[in-house]
Structure formats: structure tokens, C-alpha cells
């Protein structure tokens, strides 16, 4: 693996581990943006946080890297409805800047590409 890809791997892992921890440190934020049509919001938010931590650790282990990266891709797709909900219902989140709620949508594509990068085998 190239040095650049390795550095980004550690950043990816750190990002998801810290984001997962934040689910348990600041649950109110995540619960507020949970779309109302999803059942069991507290459970879903805790599962998302746990998945971020577990997948963030797993992506560091070569044996589990590709599986973990696919898990991150799926997780990002699963949480996309919450980001859409915030963007389309910005009036419900007056303390969350409208530009930020819309800016998160294309940023999520960057995160998807970043995780997807580690689903690909390294060139020898």
C-alpha cells in the first residue's frame, strides 16, 4: 500500500472511531436528525455508533480491511436518509446552517469514495 493510501487509511479509521464515540457522548444531536419514519431511533443511533467504532477498528486490520470498507460504504448509504431529512426539513433545525445541511450531501459522496477506495485490492 502506498504511503498516501496508508495515511488516509489511518485518518479514515480515526474519523469513524471518533464519530462512533461521539454517538454515545452527544446522542441528542443524532436523535434530533433521525427521520421520524424510522422505528426505534435510539437503538438505530446506537447501532450506527457501534458500527462506526467497530468498522473503524476493523479497517486497520489487513485481513478485515475490505469487508470493513464495504461495511462503511453500506453504513454511509444507510444514514443518507437522515442527511436528506435534515436538508429537506431545515426549518426543523434552526441551529443547523442550511448550507451545511445541503453541503453534507455531496460530502457524503466523498466519504463513500474514501471508504470504497479500501474495498479495492492494492496493486502489487
Count how many Cα atoms sit within 13 Å of the Cα of residue 120 in the half-sphere of its side chain.
12
In this structure, is residue 123 part of a structural domain?
no
In this structure, is residue 74 part of a structural domain?
yes
In this structure, is residue 28 part of a structural domain?
yes
Question: How many domains does the chain contain in total?
Answer: 1
Instruction: Give tens-digit pLDDT for 54-113.
Output: 999 999 999 999 999 999 999 999 989 888 988 999 888 888 888 888 988 999 999 999
In this structure, is residue 122 part of a structural domain?
no
- CA 19 from chain centre, in angstroms, equals 8
Q: Could you tell me the three cell numbers for 85?
A: 431529512
- pTM of this structure: 0.88
Determine the structural domain holding residue 94 and report its residue range.
Answer: 3-117
Q: Is the pLDDT of residue 124 over 70?
A: no
Instruction: Give tens-digit pLDDT for 17-68.
Output: 999 999 999 999 888 888 888 899 999 999 999 999 999 999 999 999 999 9
Amino acid at each position: 500500500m502506498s504511503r498516501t493510501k496508508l495515511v488516509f487509511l489511518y485518518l479514515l479509521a480515526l474519523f469513524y472511531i471518533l464519530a462512533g464515540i461521539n454517538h454515545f457522548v452527544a446522542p441528542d444531536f443524532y436523535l434530533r436528525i433521525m427521520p421520524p419514519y424510522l422505528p426505534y431511533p435510539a437503538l438505530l443511533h446506537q447501532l450506527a455508533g457501534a458500527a462506526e467504532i467497530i468498522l473503524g477498528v476493523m479497517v486497520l486490520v489487513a485481513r478485515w480491511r475490505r469487508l470493513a470498507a464495504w461495511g462503511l460504504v453500506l453504513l454511509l448509504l444507510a444514514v443518507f436518509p437522515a442527511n436528506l431529512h435534515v436538508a429537506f426539513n431545515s426549518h426543523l433545525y434552526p441551529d443547523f446552517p442550511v448550507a451545511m445541511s445541503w453541503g453534507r450531501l455531496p460530502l457524503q459522496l466523498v466519504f463513500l469514495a474514501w471508504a470504497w477506495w479500501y474495498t479495492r485490492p492494492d496493486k502489487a
